[in-house]
Amino acid sequence: MRNPVSMRKTPSRKRRSFIALIVLLALLATVPGYVSSYTVILITNILMYVVLALSWSIFSGPTGYISLASAAFFGTGVYASALLSSDLPLPVVIVIGGIGSFVLAFFVGALTLRLKGMYFTMFTFGLVELVRNSVHWWEVNMTGTVGRLIISADNMTIFYCMVGIFVAVLVVSYLIKRSRFGLALESIGESEEAAAHSGVNVTMVKSVTFAVSAFFMGAAGATMCMRWTYIDPTTAFSIQYSFMPVLMAIFGGMGHLYAPITGATVFSILEELLTTKFPYYYMLIFGLIMLAVILFMPHGLEGVIEKGRKKAMRRSAVGT
């Protein structure tokens, strides 16, 4: 298996992470009570990236297929919300946005997931452009406008919706990880042929997982749409929503659930700091950080932590 350390997980450690989670959720639930509305918006933004990074690693973590299609699913959610939010209550809109992305991802996955490695990446990279250009063309030729005005919801509602999606994606990732389904995914990542020969319906498992991860991206998009007053295809399908989750998940690592969460939190706070302090150089600095991370921390924060822990264990073993 990929993570020998995680196999030796003791019950006490499991309980510890459970308690940490409860504390985190309690903090999140009460946070709007004692922080400024700016902080609430900031946390909503962080949670959005956490949801994107976590759902990205549901599929790409175990299988090793690098998907750059997140923006397509996020944007689908945004548009579902833009079309429906004036008629339907927000939770329903969010679920519909998720289902829209789920269906899109399932079809795309069933068609293209037999492409190996980089060809799949190239394909997903193009998918964003395809959907964006199609929506743009439709809006210009059929509805006669490029953008749409949104009647935005208040920050609290959006915040609690995002917390809800975060909890859902966390629970689903955990359940997938410890189920037979997750085991099938792992085996696909190790060797696809071997998995197929052991009776795993490879295409089905991959497509369903891809679609599940897209569901949460669409849900996040549908929620975030309500924070904006105006959307157009360029903002909704911005390629940044494809790049950032990958970067955050890689930065954090993908072996444990905490890793993409940490990666997304660190990076979105970094983004916030850089955009306010250095608005002109922000993307430049960001690119340099990205290069440095890939060069010096190929296994992410998680890799650094595991290395440190192993070193500490060896030291204590020598001591006794």
Partner 1 sequence: MVVKFLDIAIGGLLTGGIYALIAVGFGLQYGVARVLNIAHGEFIMLGAYCTWTLFTSAGVTPLVSMLFCAPFFFAVGFVIHRIFYTPLRTASESAAAFEGNSMLASFGLLFVVQNLALIIWGSPVKGYTYLAFPIHVLGAVFSTNRIVTLIASIILGSAFYVFLVSTRTGKAIRAAAQDPVAAELMGVRINRVLALCFGFGVMMAALGGLLLSMTSVMLSPVMGMQYTLIAIIVVVLGGLGNIKGSFIGGFILGLVGYVVSSLQPGLSMVAYYLIFLFLLLVRPTGLLTK
DSSP secondary structure string for all residues of the chain:
---HHHHT--HHHHHHHHHHHHHHHHHHHHHHHHS-HHHHHHHHHHHHHHHHHHHHHHHHHHH------HHHHHHHHHHHHHHHTTTS-HHHHHHHHHHHHHHHHHHHHHHHTTS-HHHHHHHHHHHHHHHHHHHHHHIIIIIS-S-EE--PPPHHHHHHHHHHHHHHHHHHHHHHHTSHHHHHHHHHHH-HHHHHHTT--HHHHHHHHHHHHHHHHHHHHHHHHTT-SEE-HHHHT-THHHHHHHHHHHHH-SSSSHHHHHHHHHHHHHHHHHHHH-TTTHHHHHHHHHHHHHHH-TTHHHHHHHHHHHHHHHHHHHH-
Q: For partner 1, give the closer residue by CB, 74 or 123.
A: 123
CB of 297 to partner 1, least distance (A): 11
Rank residues 37 and 133 by Cβ distance to partner 1 and give the closer one: 133
- Is 79:195 a contact under the CB 8 Å cutoff? no
Cβ distance to partner 1 smaller for residue 298 or 308: 298
Taking the complex as a whole, the smallest distance from the CB of residue 286 to partner 1 amounts, in Å, to 6
Return the half-sphere exposure (C-beta side, CA atoms, 13 A cut-off) of residue 144: 0
Q: Which is nearer to partner 1, 287 or 308 (CB)?
A: 287
CB of 105 to partner 1, least distance (A): 15
Are residues 51 and 162 in contact, defined by beta-carbon separation less than 8 angstroms? yes
Of 159 and 267, the one with the shorter C-beta distance to partner 1 is: 267
Compute the least distance from the CB of residue 117 to partner 1, in Å. Answer: 7
Smallest distance from partner 1 to CB 119, Å: 6
Q: Which is nearer to partner 1, 88 or 115 (CB)?
A: 115
Contact 216, 74 (CB under 8 A): no
Nearest distance from residue 166's CB to partner 1, in Å?
A: 25
State the residues that interact with partner 1 by CB under 8 A.
Answer: 64, 66, 111-112, 115, 117-119, 121-123, 125-127, 129-130, 133-134, 136-137, 140-141, 239, 243, 246-247, 250, 280-281, 283-284, 286-291, 294-295, 298
Choice between 119 and 174, CB closer to partner 1: 119
Q: How many CB atoms lie within 10 A of CB 168?
A: 16
CB of 130 to partner 1, least distance (A): 4
Q: Token match 């105006």: residue?
A: 230
Query: Nearest distance from residue 247's CB to partner 1, in Å?
Result: 7
Question: 125 or 160, CB closer to partner 1?
Answer: 125
